[in-house]
Structure 1
Amino acid sequence: MAKMWQFISKKFLQQSDKDQSGNVGFAEFLTYVREHEKNLCLQFSHLDKNRDGKVDLEELISAFKDLGLDVDIDEARKLLGRMDKDGSLNISFNEWRDFMLLAPSTDIHDLIKFWRHSTAGVQSWLISVMLLGRKYSMNKDVYLDIGEDMNVPDDFTQKEMQTGLWWRHLVAGGIAGAVSRTCTAPLDRVKVFLQVQTCRMGISECMKILLKEGGFRSMWRGNGINVLKIAPETALKFAAYEQMKRLIRGSDTTRQMTIAERFYAGAAAGGISQTIIYPMEVLKTRLALRKTGQYAGIGDAAVKIFKHEGARSFYRGYVPNMLGILPYAGIDLAVYETLKRRYIASHDNNEQPSFLVLLACGSTSSALGQLCSYPLALVRTRLQAQSAETISGQIRKTQIPMKSSDAHSGEETMVGLFRKIVRQEGLTGLYRGITPNFLKVLPAVSISYVVYEYSSRALGIKMS
């Protein structure tokens, strides 16, 4: 038995000691915990037959038989009792993870062998190491979609890449983003409408104008292209992010990236994806501001804009859009990681942030990221709307005339438009429309998270 645990200890060091220094540093242990926890999530699904998030005695016996292992009811009860810490007569994923986290194997048969031969002494050793390590362990980030996809992409483990789970995560994220954006589309359209105003206007007044001009269905103008661009943007960003990670890591492909390196890779990936899909961003703004009957659809809008304004019009506002990626992605990532780490540091060693805590961290970081990058987003929207015939030109000449207003006449530059807004509207003019933008953050992240959870389960991704 002693030889068995010596072998396990040696194997644990081999898997976690990436620099072969003879000991496991914090960064190496953190990398091991992250990757092995995801693998344990996959293996737990072999036992959880009804996918309810827990394994009872009958499921345990059935799973053993499916794996070709003999187990009687007495041994099954003993195995369940070793892992069942709360006396619920079943095993949750958290109990499974805590028990198996230092079992250095990715094979379900090896994990079960480890389970069968565990003793009280071994468990004491495991718990002592676990309490030391879990203080620094991180949960997988909550998927959030607030309609502005400038955040740093998630990292996928080698196991997820090999098993194909990565594309399931991307599909689940795409579904969540589509539902979230559709549900919050009216607030997004109000935001865009207010961003191009040169005079102060309230949300209720804006809603009355939009509803009077186009009716209730008009509140979803521009949402179609906003949803359609999720797929190419996600795919391009994922591919670019993976390539940037390879360039940053160099020959050491297993090295854990720092927050700064993740930011650089994510910002570069966002810049590449935004450059390619940016014409769709311009179309989204034009469709959101269009008059009733102005365009028959997305294709008709693209043809008319190209015919009357040329190809360059599809890249109006490109520079402030690119500059906005840096503060948004950097602040979003830094604030999220800081809040999460402070929560872990201020609580007991064995307490990890709940999903509600992670949701709050994500909402806060996204809101702060938007706050700092919002002036650039507003200037981008005004540049995109140049030469556009819009709604309020019909209703109130003081708001948005039929063509270019004083605030965006001719071929305005980013710097020139910044100066004109500050001079004519004051600093508050750079934050027009930010209220509906903030109002949509909480419902957007809540909806995207819930839909992501259900979509993940439907796609066979086991969530902890």
Structure 2
Amino acid sequence: MIKQDAMRLLRFKFMQQSDKNQSGNVGFAEFLHYVREHEKNLCLQFSHLDRNRDGKVDLEELISAFKDLGLDIDVDEARKLLTRMDKDGSLNISFNEWRDFMLLAPSTDIHDLIKFWRHSTADWRGQEWLQSPSIMYQEKEAPRVRYLDIGEDMNVPDDFTQKEMQTGLWWRHLVAGGIAGGVSRTCTAPLDRIKVYLQVQTTKMGISECAQIMLNEGGSRSMWRGNGINVLKIAPETALKFAAYEQMKRLIRGEDASRQMSIVERFYAGAAAGGISQTIIYPMEVLKTRLALRKTGQYAGIADAAAKIYKNEGARSFYRGYVPNILGILPYAGIDLAVYETLKRRYIASHDNNEQPSFLVLLACGSTSSALGQLCSYPLALVRTRLQAQAAETITNQKRKTLIPLKSSDAHSGEETMTGLFRKIVRQEGLTGLYRGITPNFLKVLPAVSISYVVYEYSSRALGIKMS
């Protein structure tokens, strides 16, 4: 542990180098200038350690460099120094690791830097030094909204910091998000069921008329049909998507595990993770649609529905609509991520000193980007739902005698494929038919986001996460 007098000396040197206008605190512009200049010096010092110029410093290079500087260290101490700076467990130090560790060590002399390295703790940046009242720039955890649940399953997962991964905070975030998602989906389930019902109708029908049909057929409890499995699939879906996303990030980053990924790289990783998780849990998506459209008494529960669908239609029925669902991930994830990042950057650029957006601002950005993503991918989602509902009948409309457009009699028609169904919808219902049911889908976004936010905040506190 760095002693208090050494800590005060470091603070004094830092203020000397960074506080150019002698105001007694360090503004963002001054800090940015310090970082740029100090990074150049750190790059030069790193090159002295990296003897073979491969961009990494291993154990032998470290011992040799110390010896040239007149410092004798044994293998055990050298290994401890490596471990202290090595974030990815590779037993060598990249420039990014060297820079991140030394960035706030206010010295240009290699001997001072090494002295700092040898006498600091593994988490020397951890908040005692940064939280000095004389230093205005402090390290904060960024507000998180990307995993807040609004009932859709194609969002790009959130990026967790190295500290969150090491301390286990990541699973608390996921659990809090899962709880918020379950409550949010349950509260907005009636709107979701209306959306599904309207998606499979070939004739125009209003929301109130659709709701009345469902109430007359099954009562108020019928408005929550399909919600049970919709909530149950949150846990496996979140876990699979998170695990797949982390693996894809490792593949994309390669050897430089600490570098920040670009938006395009995050899109690739997120789309791949979404595709993997959706492939595994897709049978639950089909069950959700069938349970939402079932008539009273048709299924006794989730297990009964799965058994009857398998017996009557075979295993392939659990992957009806899989292709448009996977294709829908690309426009949804791409537009959602691009719009979110664009809105966030415009906010930062329009405010003084690059002010970081608050949690509520990010929440608004996330809601807007998700809504646009849904708008662009909705035709694929509608075709997916109709394919999932094949061979199943909906509630009979007492006034119109309207049934689901794809009955069992269509099972072997050429229009049960994705492209065939697209052509059929456009031919019979027009382009607006591809957006049937989108109104209740948008109506649920605002309450879903609001409920997710409130429940997530209380869940986070209960799990020991401090909200930013």
User: TM-score scaled by structure 2?
Assistant: 0.73
Does 2:204 align with 1:182? no
**How far apart are 1:398 and its partner, in Å?**
3.1
Does 2:164 align with 1:160? yes
CA separation in 2, counterparts of 1:308 and 1:111? 62
Name 1:97's counterpart in structure 2.
none
Kept in 2, the 8 Å contact 1:143–1:452? The answer is: no
The answer for unaligned runs of 5 or more in structure 1 is 24-100
Name 2:320's counterpart in structure 1.
316
Name 1:285's counterpart in structure 2.
289
Distance 1:410 1:293, change over 3 A: farther
Does 2:460 align with 1:453? no
Name 1:246's counterpart in structure 2.
250
Give a deviation string over 1:314-349, Cα, whole Å, max 9, x none.
000000000000000110111011001101111111
Give a deviation string over 1:252-278, Cα, whole Å, max 9, x none.
000101111111000000000000000
Task: Output the amino acid matched with 1:446.
Answer: S
**How far apart are 1:103 and its partner, in Å?**
8.6
Distance 1:312 1:274, change over 3 A: same
The answer for unaligned runs of 5 or more in structure 2 is 1-5, 19-33, 46-102, 107-120
Give the greater-gyration-radius structure (CA): 2
Name 2:49's counterpart in structure 1.
none
Name 1:383's counterpart in structure 2.
387
**How far apart are 1:396 and its partner, in Å?**
3.7
Does 2:164 align with 1:194? no
Q: Secondary structure at the match of 1:253?
A: coil
Kept in 2, the 8 Å contact 1:103–1:114? The answer is: no
Task: Output the amino acid matched with 2:401.
Answer: K
Name 1:95's counterpart in structure 2.
none
Does 2:257 align with 1:235? no
CA separation in 1, counterparts of 2:126 and 2:185? 44
Distance 1:286 1:113, change over 3 A: closer
Of 147, 151, 160, 2:155 maps to 151
Does 2:259 align with 1:255? yes
Q: When the two structures are aligned, how many residues end up with a matched partner? A: 374
**How far apart are 1:6 and its partner, in Å?**
7.8
Does 2:228 align with 1:224? yes
Of 443, 447, 451, 1:443 maps to 447
Name 2:43's counterpart in structure 1.
21
CA separation in 2, counterparts of 1:402 and 1:272? 28
Name 1:306's counterpart in structure 2.
310
CA separation in 1, counterparts of 2:143 and 2:40? 22
User: TM-score scaled by structure 1?
Assistant: 0.74
Task: Output the amino acid matched with 2:393.
Answer: E
CA separation in 2, counterparts of 1:305 and 1:182? 25
Kept in 2, the 8 Å contact 1:404–1:410? The answer is: no
Name 1:203's counterpart in structure 2.
207
Kept in 1, the 8 Å contact 2:144–2:359? The answer is: no
Counting aligned pairs with the same residue, the percent is 81
**How far apart are 1:18 and its partner, in Å?**
11
**How far apart are 1:164 and its partner, in Å?**
1.0
Distance 1:252 1:191, change over 3 A: same
CA separation in 1, counterparts of 2:208 and 2:183? 25
Q: CA RMSD in A?
A: 3.3
Of 4, 10, 17, 2:10 maps to 4
Task: Output the amino acid matched with 1:173.
Answer: G
Give a deviation string over 1:62-83, Cα, whole Å, max 9, x none.
xxxxxxxxxxxxxxxxxxxxxx
Aligned ranges 1:406-445 → 2 under 5 Å: 412-445=416-449
Does 2:347 align with 1:343? yes
Does 2:349 align with 1:327? no
Name 2:373's counterpart in structure 1.
369
CA separation in 2, counterparts of 1:401 and 1:345? 50
Name 2:78's counterpart in structure 1.
none
**How far apart are 1:397 and its partner, in Å?**
2.7
Of 168, 175, 183, 1:171 maps to 175
Task: Output the amino acid matched with 1:270.
Answer: G
Task: Output the amino acid matched with 1:175.
Answer: I
Distance 1:113 1:380, change over 3 A: closer
**How far apart are 1:358 and its partner, in Å?**
1.6
Give a deviation string over 1:7-64, Cα, whole Å, max 9, x none.
7689x979x95995359xxxxxxxxxxxxxxxxxxxxxxxxxxxxxxxxxxxxxxxxx
Name 2:71's counterpart in structure 1.
none
CA separation in 1, counterparts of 2:330 and 2:212? 36
**How far apart are 1:110 and its partner, in Å?**
6.8
Aligned ranges 1:65-76 → 2 under 5 Å: none
Kept in 1, the 8 Å contact 2:213–2:397? The answer is: no
Aligned ranges 1:45-84 → 2 under 5 Å: none
Distance 1:211 1:376, change over 3 A: same
Name 2:401's counterpart in structure 1.
397
Give a deviation string over 1:202-246, Cα, whole Å, max 9, x none.
001101100000000000000000000000000000110000000
**How far apart are 1:4 and its partner, in Å?**
2.6
CA separation in 2, counterparts of 1:364 and 1:428? 22
Kept in 1, the 8 Å contact 2:393–2:407? The answer is: yes
CA separation in 1, counterparts of 2:412 and 2:193? 20
Q: Secondary structure at the match of 1:349?
A: helix
CA separation in 2, counterparts of 1:19 and 1:166? 34
CA separation in 1, counterparts of 2:189 and 2:212? 16
Task: Output the amino acid matched with 2:316.
Answer: R
Give a deviation string over 1:154-174, Cα, whole Å, max 9, x none.
111221112111111111111
Q: Secondary structure at the match of 1:149?
A: coil
CA separation in 1, counterparts of 2:291 and 2:236? 19
CA separation in 2, counterparts of 1:296 and 1:198? 28
Give a deviation string over 1:365-406, Cα, whole Å, max 9, x none.
011000000000000000000000221267643342793477
CA separation in 2, counterparts of 1:280 and 1:384? 11
